[in-house]
Amino acid sequence: MLPALFALTLFLSACLVFVVQPVAGKELLPLAGGTPAVWTTCLLFFQAVLLVGYGYADRLTRLPPHRQVRWHLLLGGLALTLVLTIRPNPDWIPVASDYPIFGLIAFLTVWIGMPFFFLSATAPLLQRWFTTTGHRSGSDPYFLYAASNAGSLIGLLGYPFVIEPLLTLPDQFTDWLIGYAGLLLLMTACAATIRTTASHQESQPAPPTPLSDRDSAKEDSDSGPTTHVLVPTVPPSEGPPTEAPPSRWQLGKWVALAALPSSFLMSATTHLTTDIAPVPLLWVVPLALYLLSFIIVFARWPDRARLVIGRTVPMLILFLTVALLTRATEPLLIVAGIHLFALLGVSLLCHGELAADRPAPRFLTTFYLALSVGGVVGGLVNALLAPILFARLGLLEYPLAIVLIGLIRPEIGKGLVPLRFSRRDGVWLLVFVGLVAGLVWQIPEWVSLPRMTNAPEQLIVRLLRSGLMFGLPAVVAFALVRNPARFAVCLLVLFLAGFCDTGPHGETLLTSRNFFGTLRVVHSSDGRFVQLVHGTTTHGQQPVDTHGPPPPSTYYSPTGPAGRLLTHLPPARRQRVALVGLGVGALAAYAEPGEHWTYYEIDPAVVRIARDSGYFTFLHEARGTVDIILGDARRQLALAPDGRFDLIVLDAFSSDAIPVHLLTQEAFALYSRKLAPHGVLAFHLSNRYLDLPPLVARLAANAEPPFSLWLDDDFVSDRERAEGKYPSTWVVLARDPRDLGPVAADRRWQRLRATAGPIWTDTFSNLLSVWKVPNP
């Protein structure tokens, strides 16, 4: 039962690793603000600790096994003691700083750094210890890596679907500590097995030469009934792991093969959740497929499977290339499936090569250290370097990763196909470049893209045009797939040609990318508006030919809920206004002389575009005084005097990654304190996937004193949509209906009553509880 014991211990260790990361992130949100920088900092912290833990494991394995066990279990007990006795100070995280990175790292290090460091080193150490047990599978313990990744997968899926809906944050951490203590007990059992097996081996004669499977079965049948333990064995075609120490070239190859799918994963996730379907929790699916590939290849990955994947991946990445170049977003299932299947294929290809090239068990920790370095490199490229290097180019690391994947092709019984580029390949490349250049130059002339308002017709014409421009060269590129270098260069040529085509939102005027995402200023497809776009979400627009103050449109049209609210609200309720979320500043068109409006915006790029780009003039043309405070709204609002604002407008919930910490009971109490005695709250709750008004109603009913609510779920006709108006959902709250003036008497505003359901707090929130049920 040794494999089962070690597999269970590895499973629990990996599960604890993947559960503690979202727990730590949710703990920090109310302290540091719900900024993407918080999640990025957490991700980099955990990746760095994982790398250090693998390095520690590599050094520790140079000691005798009994000393390894002693030191590591001592470290685990010390880490548990520190967590139970020391609590970091929230004051370490600066409140008024735009870059609380060092405070966040200090908080995480003191709070959870030691346990995570212990867990990070546990997986490679347990596999290394298994080789000292004398078990017949000890000569190749890499199958245990599948159990480790299965634990990661269960932890990943279990948190949003099981743990988060059922437990508060303190209960989650308490149960995690119980699981951590259970892991220490299991590791102690593993350690006792190592010592017992070692002493038993010392008293036994040398083991006989291992028998083949056929001879072993014959001996078992001759000697009577025997109890069998089913464990994976190495397929004969693979052979044992190499006994030679890894060279520098091999170490570099391991790092590269681990970095490519890591970067590909982050790129695919970003593209899916911003440009394809901004669905909350969609990021779970790509990460689950990434982990699944580890489980598959390290549970034994024969050469035949390597060959099949090697021939399939070029086809998958060609489909993906065409999808990216044509800016395809519909049909949703097909387009998302192309990205997800390509990610799975790429992960199986790269991780399969790693599994096939695994070293002897005594170099196991070095192998995992190289994999960890590759994962960190891929994460750093996407999280830190790409936003700086490609600030004006968008998600360029995704095409670059696809081109590099085109260079990887396995050979049966060997490593990768060597890269060669002959003179004949150069001729083929020149022909390919000529074909692509001719199509990109001529197709727009043959298939023009008229300025039309009929969306389906616009989509058909665009797909036809882009399909001819890039689909035909993709077929030619696949015909040249036998040479990986030639194929990769063809992919590069295709992506370079893609810069000549406009996107589905029209001509791109400006691209700005930072840690908060990629923003684009574009001409609308009909050419009438300049729009600010993030992924598939339009955050505001302005007519191209505007004389004087521009009229607000999209969610802020004068005939929509926002326009009617700000027009009919009594003047006393508008003197001092706080607005969470800037966009293009369209709401500033309603500011009157003598009024003081304060925007709270977290993304500096949004501020620059709305105020200084020259594309949008709402802020410059505003008749009232308009200020902008940069930073997380909840953190910055807490610094304002109590009772300061007559109206607070929260407009930060239209995208997929809604700031959960702005919809908790504690956040609602903050808004109540900052409102004047007769102040009004307004929430813009338009969201394609989340039904947020019932949650706000429950928060208002539990406030002290409670608020009354009115809901306006606006309908937009085809004529209004053509004029730039979007449907929107707004909720307005007041302690006394008389504070709303004519708004309360407007029949388009319906009273909203609280219904039974959970209330979000800083220690409990669950997106599944507010998921919209699709209409049949």
- Distances in Å between the alpha carbon of 187 and those of 23, 53, 72, 730? 24, 17, 10, 54
Cis omega (within 30 of 0) for bond into 705: yes
Is 215's pLDDT higher than 60? no
Phi, psi of 532 (to 5 degrees): -105, 120
Q: Determine the pLDDT at residue 447.
A: 54
Q: Determine the pLDDT at residue 131.
A: 86
**pLDDT for 327-359, tens place per residue?**
777 777 888 999 999 999 999 999 999 988 888
CB burial of residue 233 (10 Å; 0-12, 13-18, 19+)? middle
Report the C-alpha gap between 316 and 313 in whole angstroms. Answer: 5
Is 115's pLDDT higher than 90? yes
The angle, 0 to 180 degrees and rounded to 10, between the axes of the packed helices 36-60 and 65-85 is 150
Which pLDDT band holds residue 171 (cuts at 50, 70, 90)? very high
Task: Give which of 641, 763, 587, 772 is closest to 694, Cα–Cα.
Answer: 772
Which pLDDT band holds residue 225 (cuts at 50, 70, 90)? very low
DSSP 90: G
117 vs 284, more confident = 117
Report the C-alpha gap between 615 and 637 in whole angstroms. Answer: 29
Q: How far is CA 66 from the centre of its chain?
A: 41
**pLDDT for 274-309, tens place per residue?**
777 766 667 788 988 998 998 888 877 788 888 899
Tokens of 656: 């997929």
Is 434's pLDDT higher than 50? yes
Q: Strand, coil or helix: what is 112?
A: helix
- If one counts every other C-beta atom within 10 angstroms of the C-beta of residue 272, the result is 22
Helix (H) or strand (E) segment spanning residue 713: strand 708-713
In DSSP terms, 645 is beta-bridged to 675
Q: Determine the pLDDT at residue 351.
A: 93
**pLDDT for 596-606, tens place per residue?**
999 999 888 89
Q: Determine the pLDDT at residue 237.
A: 33
Q: Determine the pLDDT at residue 656.
A: 59
Beta strand 645-650 with 675-684 is parallel
Residue corresponding to tokens 């009024």:
595
Which pLDDT band holds residue 235 (cuts at 50, 70, 90)? very low
Tokens of 683: 């929430």
Are the C-beta atoms of residues 702 and 720 closer than 8 Å to each other? Answer: no
Alpha carbon distance, N-terminus to C-terminus of the chain: 51
Strand order in the sheet with 675-684: 625-630, 596-601, 576-580, 645-650, 675-684, 729-734, 708-713, 750-752
Q: Determine the pLDDT at residue 209.
A: 39
Is 460's pLDDT higher than 90? no
Is 744's pLDDT higher than 50? yes
The per-residue pLDDT of the chain, averaged, comes to 82
Is 93's pLDDT higher than 60? yes
Q: Determine the pLDDT at residue 766.
A: 85
Tokens of 274: 């911003």
Report the C-alpha gap between 37 and 32 in whole angstroms. Answer: 10
Q: What single string gives the DSSP state of each residue in 613-654?
A: SSS--HHHH-SSEEEEEES-HHHHHTTSPTT-EEEEEE---S
Is 627's pLDDT higher than 90? yes
Q: Determine the pLDDT at residue 693.
A: 93
Beta strand 517-523 with 508-514 is antiparallel
DSSP 487: H
Report the C-alpha gap between 406 and 320 in whole angstroms. Answer: 12
Q: How far is CA 141 from the centre of its chain?
A: 31
> How large is the average pLDDT for residues 122-148?
85
Tokens of 341: 């299947």
**pLDDT for 632-657, tens place per residue?**
888 889 999 999 999 999 998 876 56
Lowest-confidence range among 127-141, 491-505, 541-555, 627-641? 491-505
How large is the C-alpha radius of gyration of the chain?
30
Q: Determine the pLDDT at residue 213.
A: 40
Q: Determine the pLDDT at residue 428.
A: 76
Q: Determine the pLDDT at residue 463.
A: 63
Which pLDDT band holds residue 623 (cuts at 50, 70, 90)? very high
74 vs 209, more confident = 74
Report the C-alpha gap between 289 and 684 in whole angstroms. Answer: 35
Q: Determine the pLDDT at residue 40.
A: 66
Is 420's pLDDT higher than 60? yes
Which pLDDT band holds residue 226 (cuts at 50, 70, 90)? very low
Name the percent of the chain lying above pLDDT 90: 38
Q: Determine the pLDDT at residue 118.
A: 96
429 vs 642, more confident = 642
In DSSP terms, 531 is beta-bridged to 522, 541
Name the percent of the chain lying above pLDDT 70: 85
Lowest-confidence range among 147-161, 188-202, 560-574, 697-711? 188-202
Sequence-ordered alpha helix ranges (H) in 642-762: 665-674, 693-701, 718-722, 742-745
Report the C-alpha gap between 160 and 38 in whole angstroms. Answer: 19
Within 13 Å and on the Cβ side, how many CA atoms surround 280? 22
Lowest-confidence range among 287-301, 438-452, 490-504? 438-452
> Between the ranges 19-33, 185-199, 435-449, 742-756, where is the mean pLDDT highest?
742-756
Q: Determine the pLDDT at residue 298.
A: 84
Q: Determine the pLDDT at residue 580.
A: 94
Which pLDDT band holds residue 622 (cuts at 50, 70, 90)? very high
Q: Determine the pLDDT at residue 197.
A: 54
Q: Determine the pLDDT at residue 239.
A: 42
> How large is the average pLDDT for residues 305-322?
91
Report the C-alpha gap between 558 and 269 in whole angstroms. Answer: 37
Lowest-confidence range among 99-108, 251-260, 384-393, 443-452? 443-452
